[in-house]
Amino acid sequence: MRVFSGIRPTGDLHIGNYLGAIKQWIELQNENECVFCIVDLHALVTPWDPKTLQKNILETAVAYLGAGLDPEKCILFIQSQVKEHSELNWLLNNICPMGELLRMTQYKEKSKQYKNNINMGLLDYPVLMSADILLYQTNAVPVGEDQKQHVELTRTIAKKFNGKFGQTFVEPKAMIAKSGARIMSLQEPKKKMSKTGNPKGCIGLFDEPNDIKKKVMSAVTDTGKTIKYSPKTKPGISNLLTIYSLFSEIPIKELEKEFANKGYGAFKKALTELLILKLEPFRKKRKELLKREVYTAEILNQGAKKAQAIAASTMQKVKKKMGLPD
């Protein structure tokens, strides 16, 4: 099976990115042909700083590797280094109905968040994402819940293209984690944990023990004292239970029993200890990799070459089907 996924180099990775997406990627790389991409072109649809973008890209690569991606087992590369992404984006623009883009939840949310910066890129974002996926004849796209709609649009575009020009693209499917697909902010448990949201509500994958402690201990909980999983009535504690369960591999039901009479304080303390322990290897690996910049850059260069070979072969077919010259 061919697997493709991407992440924007817009800031430090958090445990939502890990539990919702990267954890699956690490498992998938053992059995499948995996292609993972740092989608720097997607980072340009929201405000960015040209001075720090390259540093962010490299840090995202280090973060991926630190979290467990193995360059021997998967292709890791930077989107803008494979020009076919932009090229296919333009071609697919002419297949994708604009109405579909205007109803995308992420577009609506980000246009509210960045009122003064509603550009074409923000609207066209899902078509570039479709190009990313379709270039590699992808079967499965492991992403968090928030990206499901975009993968469905990719299927629609693939179907339309195949219907109009003949079988060209594999129709991909989203792969959503059963649990952890939507980790919420520790400060606003009704909003998803996000790199660009409230930093206090976001636990970084490489946070230092002291920061983890501060953030967990000040996480918003709900009225009452019982530690019970009920996302509607107790969104704060339910989110913490999900995080605990996923990192400890103990089912939520058992955690409810274990902490039945212990109160929020003891539960948060145990969660702090668990997170410090589980995130330690990531912190260590990242620190080592930060000292080996050339090594990381070389992985990305090799990755771009391998990715480009696959992308070029798809583009050749696409152009021919559309009646464009070679």
For the annotated catalytic residues, the residue numbers are: 110, 192, 195
Strands 74-78 and 140-142: unpaired
DSSP state of 1: -
Residue 247 contacts residue 287 (beta carbons within 8 Å): no
Nearer to ligand ATP, 109 or 298 (CB): 109
Nearer to ligand ATP, 71 or 142 (CB): 142
Residue with tokens 């080996």: 292
Q: What are the phi and psi torsion angles at 305 (to 5°)?
A: -65, -45
Nearer to ligand LTN, 133 or 220 (CB): 133
CA dist 59 and 263 (Å) reads 39
DSSP state of 138: -
- Strand boundaries in 158-298, DSSP class E: 173-175
CA dist 77 and 37 (Å) reads 5
Rounded to the nearest whole angstrom, what is the least distance from the CB of residue 294 to ligand ATP in the complex?
26
> Can you read off the two tokens belonging to residue 179?
């649990």
Q: Does the footprint of ligand ATP cover residue 168 (CB under 6 A)?
A: no
Which of 60, 80, 147, 272 is in the footprint of ligand LTN by CB under 6 A? 147
Q: What are the phi and psi torsion angles at 77 (to 5°)?
A: -155, 170
Which of 3, 4, 21, 136 is in the footprint of ligand ATP by CB under 6 A? 21
How far is the CA of 122 from the CAs of 6, 109, 195, in angstroms? 17, 11, 17
Nearer to ligand LTN, 17 or 239 (CB): 17
Q: What are the phi and psi torsion angles at 35 (to 5°)?
A: -125, 120
Residue 60 contacts residue 9 (beta carbons within 8 Å): yes
Which of 32, 93, 196, 248 is in the footprint of ligand ATP by CB under 6 A? 196
Which of 57, 69, 88, 143 is in the footprint of ligand LTN by CB under 6 A? 143
Rounded to the nearest whole angstrom, what is the least distance from the CB of residue 244 to ligand LTN in the complex?
24
Q: Does the footprint of ligand LTN cover residue 39 (CB under 6 A)?
A: yes
DSSP state of 194: -
The rounded radius of gyration (Å) of the Cα atoms in the chain is 21
Give me the torsion for CA of 130, 132, 134, 136, rounded to 10°: -170
132 binds, among ligand LTN, ligand ATP, none (CB under 5 to 8 A by kind): ligand LTN
186 binds, among ligand LTN, ligand ATP, none (CB under 5 to 8 A by kind): none
Which of 89, 132, 212, 310 is in the footprint of ligand LTN by CB under 6 A? 132
133 binds, among ligand ATP, ligand LTN, none (CB under 5 to 8 A by kind): ligand LTN
Binding segment for ligand LTN (CB under 6 A), chosen from 65-73, 88-96, 140-148, 266-274, is 140-148
Q: Does the footprint of ligand LTN cover residue 42 (CB under 6 A)?
A: yes
Q: Does the footprint of ligand ATP cover residue 10 (CB under 6 A)?
A: yes
Q: By CB under 6 A, name the binding residues for ligand LTN.
A: 4-8, 39, 42, 129, 132-133, 141, 143, 147, 150
Q: By CB under 6 A, name the binding residues for ligand ATP.
A: 7-8, 10, 16-17, 19-21, 143-144, 146-147, 181-183, 192-196
